[in-house]
Every structure is written in structure tokens, then in C-alpha cells.
Amino acid sequence: MPEFSFELNEEQKSVRDWIHGFAQDVMRPAAAEWDEREETPWPIIQEAAKIGLYSLDFYAQQFFDPTGLGIPMTMEELFWGDAGIALSIVGTGLAAVGVLANGTEEQIGTWVPQMYGDANDVKVAAFCSSEPDAGSDVAAMRTRAVYDEAKDEWVLNGTKTWATNGGIASVHVVVAVVDPELGSKGHASFIVPPGTPGLSQGQKFQKHGIRASHTAEVVLEDVRVPGDCLLGGKPKLDERLARERGARSTAGAERVKNAAMATFEASRPAVGAMAVGTARAAYEEALEYAKTRTQFGRPIIDNQGVAFQLADMRTQVDAARLLVWRASWMAAAGRPFNAAEGSMSKLYASETAKRVTAQAIQILGGNGYTREYPVERMHRDSAIYTIFEGTSEIQRLVIARTLSGMPIR
């Protein structure tokens, strides 16, 4: 296993520069338009597919990078370009991670390619976990999956919300309750194939930020999926449920993470990298503005009040990146998050993005508050990082519980 390094190797640098070029030349010029349209930027996704940036092969290469830095490097550069368009490009990845984390090799090989399609016919996928009454409180999930043994089918009923690509996806990965008595331990993940009757799009949300990314409700009404659409397979599920039932009466029994949490734990450092990208973009805009904007006969960066803000912003961006890289390397190395390092990286990076983008607006003054300058959009986009895939409050709870070993509430 490679030692942890602060330096990307030559191949990684080449990939980083390639992604940066796409972000700069294709994403940034289109960012304001798609933010205003609040629509999925299919032409941009197709351009990404044409060059291999939106493809299973590319993300598999980054996912299996032995240093662990492939995914965070990719996320930072794309979200440096524009958060809304970037989320449209990488949103499929959360569903893919859901399959990779919980599925069999056959399921991975069957379904993940269908999530992306190809350059001539691009597809997207959706991971559906949150519900109207079950966001951070995953134990409150109500979507049910009932096994019909006679037909070897699972029947899904419920409503999911805040689903990226929900309703427009080719493949939906749905987390549902299979044993209500086990709470969050009684969940499982299911593939809903393209065109399955009973799945429909509910409300499409009009959002504060990341407006180029499609977010909607997904309604499941007697949705029947074949038995082999249960990720991991029924024998594995039955074994896990039996173990969990036994754990309720046996002290010290092994605890198994539920399907949704396994996906989120794997993706939290990647979300931190997204936040780093947005924060870095805002810092760079503010730095350039401060060097060229003159007041009282001199550039405003000559004032300590501005210069010190920029010094803090850069320091915070770099610190956030280091936390993300550490967690990503640890995950790739198979090292346990004994201090909740994954949650630490997501917490600090997401809070940094909100803080740095707000400071960027302050440095640009009135211009920063207008849509003529991108920091206004970056600030709106940054708000999501402290909310999705576990709010900042949930990250702090995870960290505190891990450090203390106590059931802090």
C-alpha cells in the first residue's frame, strides 16, 4: 500500500489537468445559463461522455486508485468548475457506490454500466434513501419492501425525496425497510430497472443552489422487482437479519451498518472534496478581484482587512483538502476511521465552503452580491454541503460518538 503523500504522481497530475481543462473550457462558460434554467445540462454531460469523463471506466479507475486520491482530485476539479453542472455529472456515482458497496459482482457488472449509457445515449442513475419524514433519522424510514416468495419478487411501496436524478434516472437504487422491528438495521437496497411500472417522479424541487442538478421525489406504488434486484442477494440478507435479531439479546454481538449508511460512509470524503472545489474557486475569484480592484488609489489587497481574509481563506481551503485526502487514503488503505476521519473531512470541508464563499462575496462588495460575478452562485451552491449526505450536526454526532464510545444524542 502506498505511503500517504501530499504530492500527486505524474499520472494523477495529468488527469487533474485534463479535468481542469474541461471544467474551465466547457463547464464554466455554461454555468450561469444552466443555473438560471434549472434543468439537467444534458449537452454538457454528453460532452463529458464523449471524452470519457462521464463513464464507468473513468470512475472505476479513480475509485480503485491505490492512493485513494483519484476520486477527491476529480471531485475538486469538477466542482471548481461549477457545482450544479458537476453534480449532474457525478450524481450517478452515488448510486454506483451503492451498488459497489452492497452488490454482488454479477449485480455490479449488470447494473453499473446501465447507469451511464454511452456517449451517443447518456443515462443517469439515482440513489433514493431520504424520505419526507426520514432524512437524518434513517430509523424513521417507511418505504417497505415485501418479498413475494411465490413469484420471487420484491414489492416496494413508499415515497423518497431529495433524490438527485430522481425520476429521470435510468436505474434507481432504493433503500427500503425489510424488517421494521430492527429499525435502521432492517434496511436493504434494491435495484429498480429502467421502465419498471409503479415508479414515478413526484415533485421536482426548485432549489437555492446547485440548480443545474435535478432533485425530485420518487414515488413507488406496488413496484415489483425480480428477486435478484436485492443488492447482495437474499441469503446474505437473511443471514444479516438473523445476526441482528440475535444481537438484540446477546451483549457484544457484531453490529452491521445498514445499506444507506454504508453508502454514505464511503462517499463522505468525496463530498468534502466537492466542497473544497467550490471553496477554492471562490477564493481564487476573490484573490484576483482584490489584486485588480482599486479603491483610494490602490488595489484593495493592500489593505490588511482584505489581505488577512484571503490568508485565512487559503489556509482553510488547504486544511480542508488535507483532511479529505487523509480520509480518502485511509479508506483506500483499509484503515478504520477510529476517530471518524471520514466525517471529520466532510464536516470541516463543507463548513469551509460556506465560510469562504461568504468571505468572497464580502471582498467583492456589491459586485459579489450580483449574478454578474460567480461568487454569488458559489455561495448559494455551498449551502448544500452542510446538508446532504449527513448534516454538519450529524457529522459532529458521529465524531463525538466515535471518540467517546457513548450513545450521545
Active site residues: 389
Q: What is the DSSP letter of 129?
A: -
Per DSSP, helices labelled H in 23-82 are: 28-37, 42-50, 56-63, 70-81
Residue with cell 485534463: 18
Q: Decide: 124 and 170 in contact? Cβ < 8 Å.
A: yes
Smallest CA-to-CA distance from 274 within 346, 219, 334 is with 346
CA-based end-to-end distance of the chain: 37
Residue with cell 443488492: 231
As given in the structure block, the three cell numbers for residue 340 are 471518524
252 Cβ neighbours under 8 A, 6+ residues apart: none
**∠ CA 262-393-330, rounded to 5°:** 45
- Measure the CA–CA gap between 301 and 284, rounded to whole angstroms: 13
- For residue 389, the Cα-to-chain-centroid distance in whole angstroms is 7
Cα-flanking dihedrals φ and ψ of residue 286, to 5°? Answer: -65, -40
Question: Which 3 state secondary structure label does DSSP give 399?
Answer: helix
Reported as half-sphere exposure (CB side, CA atoms, 13 A), residue 19 has a value of 28
Q: Decide: 6 and 328 in contact? Cβ < 8 Å.
A: no
Question: Is 151 buried (19+), middle (13-18) or exposed (0-12) by CB count in 10 A?
Answer: exposed
- Please report the beta strands in 71-152, taking only residues with DSSP state E, as ranges in sequence order: 117-118, 121-122, 125-128, 144-148
Residue with cell 463543507: 350
Per DSSP, helices labelled H in 178-294 are: 234-247, 259-292
Q: Decide: 399 and 343 in contact? Cβ < 8 Å.
A: yes
